[in-house]
Chain A
Amino acid sequence: MMKKELGLFLLLAVISAITGAINPAFLSFVNLLNMANLIGLFGVFALGEGLVIITGGIDLSLGSMFALLGVVFIDLLTTYQVPWPFALVLVLLGGLALGGIQGFLITRLKMQPFIVTLCGLLIYRGAARYYTSDSTRGFGYGDEASTLSNIASGNVAGIPNTFIFLIILAVILGVLLHRSVYGRWLYAVGKNEEAARYSGIRTNLVIATAYVISGGLAGVSTVMFVFYTNSVSPSSFGNFYELYAIAAAVLGGCSLRGGEGSILGIVLGTALLQVLQNLVNILGIPNSLNFAVMGTVILIGVLADQQLQARRRRKAALAGLARTAPRSKETTMLQSASPRGAAALPTSAGDQA
């Protein structure tokens, strides 16, 4: 498993090094901190998306959720003068509830995740625009939530709080996904829901929980983005952000077929996406090519990963054949001595041939 993350990390390092060599401004402290902030902002909900993708599902509603929860959040603070801790809790609950509804529709009513969350995308966006009559909501001159604002957009020793929060969250979710019983169930359900059910796992609950977590993290992200932009324009706030999350997860090793991916991979995927965006600016590539660069890198990355996995499967199949013929016992032992040795790592591809 770690090979994939290592490969991704090397790719990130190589791209950063090249960009830094061409334009040293890329590696300047200010630029690095700016990227760290963006990685923190985009990483939080990408992690939630990743969990959903590991179940074999998808969540397309995140960007619209930000808009809806965002306008509600600002309204609670400004119009209704709700103390910020309450507003924060309400927004988080709102995210959890929306995730819960989607999870319910997907598992209990057996609707397809793509459809449920696509409708979520449309409905939440529409609701946000209707609620605000399509007008931008922002903070007035008062300091309705200066404490929270300071937490959300502040820094510790220069390191943005968003980034610190992402690291803490990644550790927590890392333990949840890679060490806990729930994490194991999530992978099992993603890979083979039927076998998981035959093993007594409550597959519906496991899957629905992933959507609830994703919704909850969308609530957290909403608050972070609101204080990043200080205002919410309901028709554009968070547009396409779900696609950033999906891209980060896929780049980080999640398969849309489910059952694959890691927290570290998703964080690295988010970082790579932000680095790509940043290098477009830094290297003076026309900004309009931004999406095209991102798309190309994802396409090549996933293609390379798939080819390497296919190689690995072929090797496994060969090892299986060797097992049936007793004479080639040696080969079997060699093959299986490092069962993951042939895993996806671009650098090792050459000498494995």
Chain B
Amino acid sequence: MAETLLELSGISKTYPGVRALDDVNLRVCRGEVLGLIGENGAGKSTLMRVLAGVIAPSAGVIRIGGNDHARMTVNEATLAGIAFVHQELNLFENLDVAANVFIGREKLAGGPLKLVDNAQMHARVTPLLERLGADFAPNTLVDNLSIAERQMVEIAKALSIDARVIIMDEPTSSLTISETERLLEVIADLKAHGISVIYISHRLGEIMSCADRVVVLRDGRTVGELARNELSHAAMIRLMIGRDLKALYTPPARSPEPGGCDIAGVVTTAFPDRQIDLSVRRGEILGLAGLVGAGRTSLARAVFGVDPLLGGEIRIDNTPVGVASPRDAIRQGIYLVPEDRKKSGLVLELPIRENVTLASLLDHARMWLVNGGSERKIAKEQARRLSIKAPSIDIEAVTLSGGNQQKVVLGKWLSMQPRVMFFDEPTRGIDVGAKSEIYALMRSLADQGVAIVMISSDMEEVIGVSDRVAVMHEGSVSGVLERDQFSEYNVLRLAVGQALETLETAAP
């Protein structure tokens, strides 16, 4: 066995009400590529943030080079040679490559003047870029680089601090196939130089081709480890799934009616080369599953008129509708409960009442003057119907808990006439009680004939709440599952771009 570089043992991290990591053990050897996989929310990112010193674990030991740490600071992690290539690249676009590599550790000249020594920084970065086979110069503005090139800058940065372990979190999610191959070559080269890589990816194919060993996380626990010769898609997926799913499902009160919303050949700005076809019937809850970045939110934004539609059409009850803006969509009865409620769902500084009527204020006005009585009435009605816990409808939304804020967003739409509703991660960051209230509400809306699309990364929610599940993979729908086909295994297979196996062999 190769020399152990770092070892995490018994790492736990608890947040109020959530156990993000539970007794996780992880060992990284010198010059090895360790694949780290798991579903959305399995704890991969949390674990890596512990390793990079961004968050402190609640329990456990981090052992690096023979020293034990109960927690690490970002500086200690850097000194220990741990570098992080982030999913969202953390570069300064307005600075050049060399300046980014040496950010915070600028080479200085001019003695007491402390001038930045650009020449020296450029000279130091050039060999790093050559080693990575990058074809841009150290004085190129990062703004002018592609995503793949920016990643090379991040890796160069890691090399410049003599990193011994480089963590790559979903490094290929925005890369083309040839760029991905290039990255895999770079990883092989790093490995040959004795540098270890922790490679986090949903793309099992890449894991297969580069990892020496794979560790699987599920619900914050290490649930398995696969050696290079044990790697297979099926083996990995089996370990990733197997959560205890609670029975949440309430069947619809009546069978789905004809009509509803058809998304035909829709092209979004996020994936201009993919088409999306999807139908949701009135009275049905369609779960929209997929990995983060699969294009689900982009689809919702396009249908709601936030982003332009690059192609295709949207039909409601077989009539094409134009959605050039959210205003158009709302007029057609297409509503969106957005992913980021604080940014897009609510005006936090306005009271509950004004948030509830924000989209329908003209209905509560005569000659453009707000009819306070009518407004209060509808806001109170929604607060009661949704049991929004607040002392009054006049308090600012910012003071409410996440669940109650979400209910205010729902109240805004329920005070109008929805025909098609998109819920984007409707229960993220919401406590259990409010969650089940929101599920019940979605079901009652569906029973009133609303077509519902629920985007969710929570497997329990997708399987527990939906009548059908559509799975997206890299910008298009890779499959639709009926209830009798529901299983984590099937959802995950479609989410990673594998074809569905025959039903008999599917369920583990």
Interface centre among B326, B330, B338, B401 (most CB of A within 10 A): B326
Q: Which residues of B contact A199 (CB under 8 A)?
A: 326, 330, 358-359, 412
B191 to chain A, nearest CB (A): 44
Q: Which residues of A contact B350 (CB under 8 A)?
A: 187-188, 191
Q: Is the CB of B327 within 8 A of A202?
A: yes
- Say yes or no: is A135 at the interface (Cβ < 8 Å to chain B): no
Known A-B contacts A197-B306, A201-B327; the reply to A319 vs B368 at CB < 8 A is no
- The answer for the CA separation of A337 and B390 in the assembled complex, in Å, is 11
Q: Is the CB of A200 within 8 A of B394?
A: no
Residue-wise, chain A 314-336 has the 8 Å CB interface mask toward B (1 for contact) of 00100110011000000011001
Residue-wise, chain B 304-331 has the 8 Å CB interface mask toward A (1 for contact) of 1010000000000000000001110111
Known A-B contacts A179-B370, A182-B368, A336-B395; the reply to A195 vs B343 at CB < 8 A is yes
Q: Which residues of A contact B336 (CB under 8 A)?
A: 198
- The answer for the CA separation of A180 and B364 in the assembled complex, in Å, is 10
Residues B362-411 near A (CB distance < 8 A): 362, 365, 368-370, 390-392, 394-396, 398-399, 401
Q: Is the CB of B326 within 8 A of A198?
A: yes
Q: Is the CB of B399 within 8 A of A336?
A: yes
Residue-wise, chain A 185-218 has the 8 Å CB interface mask toward B (1 for contact) of 1011001101111111110000000000000000
- Say yes or no: is B223 at the interface (Cβ < 8 Å to chain A): no
Interface centre among A181, A320, A337 (most CB of B within 10 A): A181
Known A-B contacts A184-B370, A192-B347; the reply to A198 vs B338 at CB < 8 A is yes
Q: Which residues of A contact B329 (CB under 8 A)?
A: 200
- Identify which of B16, B344, B401 contacts A323 (C-beta below 8 A): B401
A109 to chain B, nearest CB (A): 17
Known A-B contacts A175-B369, A180-B369, A191-B350; the reply to A200 vs B399 at CB < 8 A is no
A185 to chain B, nearest CB (A): 8
Q: Is the CB of A181 within 8 A of B368?
A: yes
A87 to chain B, nearest CB (A): 31
- Say yes or no: is B354 at the interface (Cβ < 8 Å to chain A): yes
- Say yes or no: is A85 at the interface (Cβ < 8 Å to chain B): no
- The answer for the CA separation of A196 and B348 in the assembled complex, in Å, is 11
Known A-B contacts A320-B399, A339-B396; the reply to A181 vs B370 at CB < 8 A is yes
Interface centre among B358, B362, B390, B391 (most CB of A within 10 A): B358
Q: Which residues of B contact A179 (CB under 8 A)?
A: 369-370
A314 to chain B, nearest CB (A): 12
- Say yes or no: is A259 at the interface (Cβ < 8 Å to chain B): yes
Q: Is the CB of A181 within 8 A of B362?
A: yes
A134 to chain B, nearest CB (A): 42
Q: Is the CB of B347 within 8 A of A339?
A: no
Q: Which residues of A contact B369 (CB under 8 A)?
A: 175, 179-181
Q: Is the CB of A201 within 8 A of B349?
A: no
Q: Is the interface of A mostly helix, strand, loop or mixed?
A: helix
Known A-B contacts A180-B370, A181-B361; the reply to A196 vs B395 at CB < 8 A is no
Residues B83-110 near A (CB distance < 8 A): none
Q: Is the CB of B370 within 8 A of A195?
A: no
- Identify which of B330, B346, B392 contacts A195 (C-beta below 8 A): B346
- The answer for the CA separation of A194 and B338 in the assembled complex, in Å, is 11
Q: Is the CB of A192 within 8 A of B346?
A: yes
B431 to A, closest residue via Cβ: A324
- The answer for the CA separation of A202 and B399 in the assembled complex, in Å, is 27
- Say yes or no: is B464 at the interface (Cβ < 8 Å to chain A): no
- Identify which of B343, B370, B399 contacts A316 (C-beta below 8 A): B399
- Say yes or no: is B345 at the interface (Cβ < 8 Å to chain A): yes
A175 to B, closest residue via Cβ: B369
- The answer for the CA separation of A162 and B348 in the assembled complex, in Å, is 39
Known A-B contacts A319-B399, A323-B401; the reply to A200 vs B359 at CB < 8 A is yes
Known A-B contacts A201-B327, A336-B399, A339-B392; the reply to A195 vs B344 at CB < 8 A is yes
Q: Which residues of B contact A182 (CB under 8 A)?
A: 368
- The answer for the CA separation of A194 and B340 in the assembled complex, in Å, is 11
Q: Which residues of B contact A198 (CB under 8 A)?
A: 304, 306, 326, 336, 338, 344-345
Q: Is the CB of B327 within 8 A of A195?
A: no
- The answer for the CA separation of A175 and B367 in the assembled complex, in Å, is 12
Q: Is the CB of A337 within 8 A of B391?
A: yes
Q: Which residues of A contact B338 (CB under 8 A)?
A: 198
B365 to A, closest residue via Cβ: A181
Q: Which residues of A contact B304 (CB under 8 A)?
A: 198
- The answer for the CA separation of A194 and B347 in the assembled complex, in Å, is 9
Q: Which residues of B contact A336 (CB under 8 A)?
A: 390-392, 395, 399
Q: List 27 A-B contacts (CB under 8 A).
A: A180-B365, A181-B361, A181-B365, A181-B368, A184-B361, A188-B358, A191-B349, A192-B348, A194-B344, A195-B343, A195-B345, A196-B358, A198-B304, A198-B345, A199-B330, A199-B359, A199-B412, A201-B358, A202-B325, A316-B399, A319-B399, A320-B401, A336-B390, A336-B392, A337-B391, A339-B391, A339-B394
B contacts, CB < 8 Å to A: 16, 304, 306, 325-327, 329-331, 336, 338, 343-350, 354, 358-359, 361-362, 365, 368-370, 390-392, 394-396, 398-399, 401, 412
A contacts, CB < 8 Å to B: 175, 179-182, 184-185, 187-188, 191-192, 194-202, 259, 316, 319-320, 323-324, 332-333, 336-337, 339
7 cross-chain pairs, A with B, having the tightest CB-CB distances, nearest first? A200-B330, A199-B359, A336-B391, A200-B327, A199-B358, A192-B347, A339-B395
